[in-house]
């Protein structure tokens, strides 16, 4: 994979929650979970 997704933007969907690596959007009564490559300054490797 050559590119990474750091942020997701779907203007027509309601953002339910934005976590450390996942964004959750509402689509009617369903949920769309988007996994990103965001990192936290507090992550330890």
Q: How many domains does the chain have?
A: 1
Res 17: pLDDT: 94
Res 1: pLDDT: 63
Res 40: pLDDT: 65
Name which residue leads in pLDDT, 45 or 9.
9
- Written in H, E and C, the secondary structure of 2-38 is CCCCCCCCCCCCEEEEECCCEEEEEECCEEEEEECCC
What is d(CA 27, CA 36) in angstroms, rounded to the nearest whole number?
19
Residue corresponding to tokens 């779907």: 10
> 1-42, pLDDT tens digit by residue?
677 777 888 999 999 999 888 999 999 999 999 988 877 666
Res 41: pLDDT: 63
Name which residue leads in pLDDT, 37 or 43.
37
Sheet containing strand 14-18, edge to edge, reads 14-18, 22-27, 30-35
Domain ranges, residue 9: 1-45
């Amino acid at each position: 994979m050559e590119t990474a997704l750091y942020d997701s933007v779907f203007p027509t969907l309601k953002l339910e929650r934005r976590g450390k690596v996942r964004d959750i959007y509402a689509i009617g009564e369903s949920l769309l979970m988007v996994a990103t490559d965001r990192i936290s300054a507090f992550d330890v490797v």
